[in-house]
Amino acid sequence: MSKLADAIRRSQRVEAGPIGFGAARPAPKPSMLTGYAGLLAGAAAAHAAGAEVVLVDARAGGLAAADVKKLRGQAGDSPLGAWASVADAEAAKSLREAGLDFLVVEADSTPASVLLDDQLGYVLALTGPFDEHFLRSLEPLAFEALLLTEPPDTLTVARQIELTRVSALARKPLLAFAEPGITGDDLQCLRAAGIVGVLVSEDAVSAVKERVAALPPRRGRRDERAVVSLPRGPVAAAADEDDDDDD
């Protein structure tokens, strides 16, 4: 399991409350990850601002193992990923050995051999429209998350339903880019739709992280009222006969 998968799992874990009188209640744990997505130059500042995930966009200039080693030192223990063109499994292995935790891959352009390194985490870049058959085919694949490449625009009910559909059909956690000014209400709606983490620019990390920390606890599903029905069959008929005998 990569550091990214571990971070996602921790953020989604619901912790039990304290037991016993006077038990100290721990500080509430953020229910979403706040990460950085951007160029190599902004990674150090983003980590210093509290980014829980660092994703470097190196599609334009490429990414060398030496760059990853430098990034690893800047990112500390945070999950470190790259969105970069990787030629084959050997190139992916080189980045992983330099300290890369996960790699963002594209379905149409990344060679399938890149996925052979099972010690590296993989995130699939996902661009709409979202075909149902394609989404269902992702479940058995070893992607630790799906990255929505288009930041959610005005979050209408229809858009939230669409995001929920993606998460439900693919059965994978969703990461999404977010605008610096995203509100707490929109973050709460994204969380309800299956978004486990938002990625922002380095200058927005601190503010967005504060909004995530202020979100209310997740809502549980509304349970339907239980309906009690008595069986009408041989067992019920036998019970009726026993009652008649007693009389």
pLDDT tens-digit series, residues 168-188: 999 999 999 999 999 999 999
Q: Is residue 191 part of a domain?
A: yes
- Which residues are CB-neighbours of 215 under 8 A, at least 6 positions away? 30, 31, 32, 184, 187, 188, 191
Q: Report yes or no on 170 lying in a domain.
A: yes
Burial class, 217, CB count within 10 angstroms (exposed 0-12 / middle 13-18 / buried 19+)? exposed
For residue 120, is it within any domain?
yes
Residue ranges making up the domain that contains 50: 3-8+27-219
pLDDT in tens, 56-71: 999 988 889 999 998 8
Enter the pTM of the model.
0.81
pLDDT of residue 93: 94
Residue 245's pLDDT is 55
Instruction: Provide the angle, in degrees to the nearest 10, between the axes of the packed helices 89-98 and 65-75.
Output: 40
pLDDT value, residue 227 = 42
Give residue 242's pLDDT. Answer: 55
User: Could you tell me which of 197, 191, 156, 203 has the C-alpha nearest to residue 177?
Assistant: 197
Residue 214 in any domain: the answer is yes
Q: Hey, which bits of 73-137 come out as E strands?
A: 80-83, 102-106, 121-126
Indicate whether 226 belongs to any domain: no
CATH label of the domain that carries residue 144: 3.20.20.70
Instruction: Kindly list the distances between the CA atom of residue 96 and the CA atoms of 4, 70, 144, 232, in Å, as whole numbers in the listed order.
Output: 13, 13, 16, 63
| Number of structural domains found in the chain | 1
Domain contains 240: no
What is the phi-psi region of residue 72: left when phi exceeds 0, alpha when psi lies from -120 to 50, beta otherwise?
Answer: alpha
Does a structural domain hold residue 14? Answer: no
Residue-level pLDDT at 150: 82
Beta partners for residue 39, in sequence order: none
**Cα 33 to Cα 216: distance, rounded to the nearest angstrom:** 15
Residue 41 lies in a domain: yes
Is residue 72 within 8 Å of 80, Cβ to Cβ? yes
Low-confidence ranges of the chain (pLDDT < 70): 14-28, 152-153, 219-247
